[in-house]
Amino acid sequence: MIVSADPLLPDDAALLTFLRSVPVLAGLTPETLARLAGTTQQISIDKGAYLFLQGDPAHAAYIVYRGWIAIVLHGADGRELVLADMRRYDLFGENAIVTGLPRSASAVAHESSRLLRIAAPDFMATLDNEPLLARHLLQLAARRLSEGNERERALAFLQAGARIARVLLTLDEMDQRTADKGFVTISQDELAQRTGLTRQTVARFLGDWRRQNYLLTGRGRIMLLQRGPLRALEEENLD
């Protein structure tokens, strides 16, 4: 469920401070940021709700203020693959606006989240007036392309256990960069989505690693106890 939220930020000054901290908006003129702040809508989305679906027209771009949004690709056979994770300060949904094409993937809230919504006309007006934003978007696209190539390489060449270890370590690092909870919030189904494996395969490896005291598992939570063996497994398969 998506709802219009009470202001996420208490006043215009706080909103401008936040926008200046968004990497892709860094260096934009104060006038541009002020115009952008004036057109930005603040919304909330419940855990498990879809912000948009693959194939939808693009009406807006989004910036994560708080929470976690997963970008998911849906296959013709019904399978799903998580392509990327969007956290605080991340911009997403801009590609379809720039290209004029339908959404190439879906966006779903991995946890209850709060977002800034920038309508497509306002986003394009900002892009037209700020060459620096175009440069930042090119850099962002290049970085995401590189990350996509790395993900495809992992799916193509890493063995099953190394794929799972890689995802767990990546999510663990993300957790430590934010409000460290001490555990990774992810289910076995979601791990399967991120690794291109079956849920049964994921469950088998997690069970083995639990018995070896590498990790603890709970309802949608995984706590890493020994990162070294998991990192060694990933690096061994990358050689």
Three-state SS at 72:
strand
CA distance 63 to 115: 6
Three-state SS at 82:
strand
Q: What is the pLDDT of residue 200?
A: 94
Q: What is the pLDDT of residue 173?
A: 87
Q: What is the pLDDT of residue 3?
A: 62
Task: Give me the residues of the chain with pLDDT under 70, please.
Answer: 1-7, 10, 178-180, 237-239
CA distance 41 to 17: 16
User: What are the structural domains of the chain?
Assistant: 2-153 (2.60.120.10), 158-238 (1.10.10.10)
Q: What is the pLDDT of residue 183?
A: 86
Q: What is the pLDDT of residue 27?
A: 93
Q: What is the pLDDT of residue 107?
A: 97
In terms of Cα–Cα distance, which of 125, 98, 94, 139 is closest to 31? 125
Q: Which two tokens stand for residue 99?
A: 């290209």
In terms of Cα–Cα distance, which of 18, 239, 28 is closest to 134? 28
Report the amino acid identity of residue 201.
Answer: T
Q: What is the pLDDT of residue 127?
A: 94
Q: What is the pLDDT of residue 44?
A: 95
Q: What is the pLDDT of residue 155?
A: 77
Mean pLDDT of all residues belonging to the chain: 90
Report the amino acid identity of residue 132.
Answer: L
CB 118 within 8 A of CB 92: no
